[in-house]
Amino acid sequence: MPLLFFVMVISLFPMALGVEPHLLARLAPAIIWVAVVLALLMSLDNVFKSDYQQGALEQFVLSPYPLSLLILGKSIAHWIAIGLPLLLLAPLFSVLLNLPFAGVGVLWVTLLLGIPTLSLIGSIGAALTVGLQQGGLLLAILVLPFMVPIVIFAASGVAAAGNGAPFYSELLLLAALLLLTLALGPVAISFALRVSIE
Amino acid sequence: MLQAEALGCWRDRREIFSKITFNLEPSSVIMVSGSNGSGKSTLLKILAGLQQATSGTLTWQGKPLKPLDPHYLKQLLYIGHKISIQPALTPLQNLHWLLAITPAMPHSNDALIEALHLMGLQGFEHTACERLSKGQCQRVALARLMLTSAQYWIVDEPFTALDDSGVAILKDCFLDHLDRGGRLILASHHPFETKAFQQTHVRLKNIC
Amino acid sequence: MSILCAALMLYGFFSGLYLAPADYQQGDGFRIIYIHVPTAFLSLAIYAFIALNSIIFLIWQIKLADILAKESAIIGALYTFIALISGSLWGKPMWGTWWIWDARLTSELILLFLYLGYIGLRSAIPEERRSGKAGAILAIVGMMDIPIIHFSVEWWSTLHQGPTLAKFAKPSIANEMLYPLLAMILAFALFYVVILLFRLRIEILKRNFHTQWLQQWLGPKLRGPE
């Protein structure tokens, strides 16, 4: 479902902007990254929802194994279900949006580094809002500000690559953010989940 | 040994219960009873460590029990109101993942199937749980009891949705556990009387 | 309690009188910094204060810290909003446009989103303790993220615009202009403290409405609804 949404958002842009290739090429990194964020937000709303409703979260919390490891496992599963297909689809769409060829590879790397970061950050929000009414909308409001740096670095990296400018520093910053969230994200998520099931 | 000393719980400026005191010895039962909304599930959650009491202390093996102490969790089996059965998975798959993350005896696939058979679920091992009835899902959740290595069982309203034969199987299961020196904390409207084992009643009243 | 109340009143008068003489300035465009700079500075400081209280609440479970954090948020959001509006008003004569995607303004805008998210989360959770803990986690994560956000926004704005605007800020400031500014920062800070203490008192009364000491204290004063 989030993937279908991703496809539709992306195809909406040429319809709204017109099909002028230069314009599309210039906007392509932004369009793809905004669509990725929106698609992830949609999927994140459901990461913990059914587990919460069925009581599986209580069992996770009561497991003698560290909760953050179980959560990391869940995040990996989420990445396989959502992140991987987005990775596979994105190059296709960058061609549709006329992104210069040099940009495609960099786009791919930014997605590889950025999507797990976004989904871990989003999972913190999802863990805080699970079980609340209108959790979905609140989730978006909570996590969007936190997603700003990743979107900035990723989109500017791709744009730089498309213009033939250096882009390594952006990629390194994305990698740093990924490592940071990998280390701290699961811990924050497990705190949040313990609070949410009280 | 698990000891509760003057446990009390407030929520949103309202007292749910107070002064709950008991000792849980091997081979003994704590029966928690009370009308709807009297805080049975809250008390059970506190004993499991999912919530914290607002007053009073819990002592385990002579020391104050830290919330979610892994050593305690290794001894604990909690089956709450939400029985944690994933509707998309089959009973067998559900048992597999639940036993994987909670304390369990070494088990084979056959042992799981046998437990499901004992629970009266022959022929349903590979049917997705969303197609089973509520009572059948309850039986899947309770099949965990036969395979767990936990000493402390905390079970919330297990008899609801079960038919007479299910109730009988479950009671036998509890008695076996007590026989092996296990401990049981049970919240139920359904009577569960054992002559052979020590039984403490905790009655919660609605405080308005 | 009555002593605390009296102290509060005195404090309120003091800061009110303090605030008024500092406020008589008017006229020229630059004077808006007397609003803009204190609110912008305090908006960030208040967020840090919330995060600090959140840590205290999570570790030592002190309810007062939670109330402080909760009640600070709304004032912080208000200051952020004022900083944005005044920044935009300032931008009109200076830059010729109401809004410019300047790094600081953008960071301030994101800070406003963070505040609103925090307030939204707290009000969405009906139960006090849970709401406090969830909010605390959010505030701490937010505090860790603010430098990253700020850095990324700076990065982004230097990428998208020439350095002319970034260089605009901070001409060396004359003492006659600096002292009122410091006074205004102090005044806004005191205003925040006073409002916070008022809100704190109300919240404590609300949370302890059921307790005996409060019922006794209120007893003669309250009529009608109980």
SS3 of residue B76 by DSSP: strand
Place of tokens 């605007």: C165
pLDDT band of residue A2 (cuts 50, 70, 90) is: confident
The pLDDT value given to residue A11: 83
| Residues with Cβ within 8 Å of residue C41, at least 6 apart in sequence | C185
| Chain C positions in Cβ-Cβ contact with residue B14 (cut-off 8 Å) | 210
The pLDDT tens digits for B10-48 are 776 677 787 888 888 888 888 888 888 778 888 888 888
The pLDDT value given to residue A121: 92
In total, how many domains does chain C have? 1
The pLDDT value given to residue A167: 81
Helix axes A84-96, A21-44, angle to 10 degrees: 160
Burial of B193 (0-12, 13-18, 19+ CB in 10 A): exposed
The pLDDT tens digits for C101-129 are 777 788 888 899 999 999 999 888 888 88
Token pair of B184 as six digits: 């049981």
Which among A141, A148, A198 has the least Cβ separation from residue C117? A141
Does C174 have pLDDT greater than 70? no
**Mean pLDDT estimate for chain B:** 82
Does B171 have pLDDT greater than 70? yes
Q: Are B16 and B37 in contact (CB under 8 A)?
A: no
**C117: containing domain:** 2-223
Give me the percent of chain C exceeding a pLDDT of 90. Answer: 13
What is the ipTM for the molecules in this complex?
0.85
Range with lowest mean pLDDT among A71-75, A119-123, A161-165, A183-187:
A161-165
The pLDDT value given to residue B167: 85
Q: Could you give the CA distance from residue B142 to residue B158 in angstroms, rounded to a whole number?
A: 8
**Mean pLDDT estimate for chain C:** 74
Asked whether the beta carbons of residue A53 and residue B73 sit closer than 8 angstroms, the reply is: no
Range with lowest mean pLDDT among B59-68, B153-162, C25-34:
C25-34
The pLDDT tens digits for C132-141 are 889 999 999 9
Residues belonging to chain B with any Cβ–Cβ distance to chain A shorter than 8 Å = 48-51, 68, 70, 73-74, 76, 78, 80-87, 98, 101-103
Q: How many CB atoms lie within 10 A of CB C131?
A: 18
Range with lowest mean pLDDT among A1-10, A113-122, C113-122:
A1-10
pLDDT band of residue C52 (cuts 50, 70, 90) is: very high
Does C182 have pLDDT greater than 80? no
Place of tokens 């200051």: C79
| Chain A positions in Cβ-Cβ contact with residue C158 (cut-off 8 Å) | none
Does B165 have pLDDT greater than 50? yes
The pLDDT tens digits for C16-44 are 445 544 444 444 555 666 777 778 888 88
Q: How many CB atoms lie within 10 A of CB C176?
A: 7
| Between C185 and B56, residue with greater pLDDT | B56
With contact defined as 3+ CB pairs under 8 Å, the chains touching B are A, C
The pLDDT value given to residue B151: 84
The pLDDT value given to residue C96: 66
Q: Are A162 and A104 in contact (CB under 8 A)?
A: no
pLDDT band of residue C6 (cuts 50, 70, 90) is: low
pLDDT, mean of residues B169-192: 84
The pLDDT value given to residue C166: 39
Which among A50, A63, A198 has the least Cβ separation from residue B50? A198
Asked whether the beta carbons of residue B12 and residue C207 sit closer than 8 angstroms, the reply is: no
Place of tokens 């059914």: A50
Asked whether the beta carbons of residue C127 and residue B11 sit closer than 8 angstroms, the reply is: yes
Q: Could you give the CA distance from residue A44 to residue C158 in angstroms, rounded to a whole number?
A: 32
Greatest mean pLDDT among A188-197, B19-28, B162-171 lies in: A188-197
Asked whether the beta carbons of residue A134 and residue C124 sit closer than 8 angstroms, the reply is: yes
Does A179 have pLDDT greater than 80? yes
| Residue from C148, C150, C157, C161 to probe the interface with A (highest A Cβ count within 10 Å) | C148
Q: Could you give the CA distance from residue B176 to residue B200 in angstroms, rounded to a whole number?
A: 18
- Helix H or strand E encompassing B184: strand B183-187
Give me the percent of chain A exceeding a pLDDT of 90. Answer: 21
Hey, is the C-beta of C226 within 8 angstroms of any chain B C-beta? no
| Chain B positions in Cβ-Cβ contact with residue A55 (cut-off 8 Å) | 80-84
pLDDT, mean of residues A90-111: 82
Q: Could you give the CA distance from residue B153 to residue B79 in angstroms, rounded to a whole number?
A: 8
Token pair of C52 as six digits: 């600090």
CATH number at C162 reads 1.20.120
Does A141 have pLDDT greater than 80? yes
Whole-Å CA distances, B98 to B84, B106, B109, B141, B147: 8, 13, 13, 9, 11
| Between A112 and B120, residue with greater pLDDT | A112
The pLDDT value given to residue B135: 83
The pLDDT tens digits for A161-172 are 877 777 888 889
Q: Which amino acid is at A168?
A: Y
The pLDDT value given to residue C5: 47
Does A117 have pLDDT greater than 90? yes
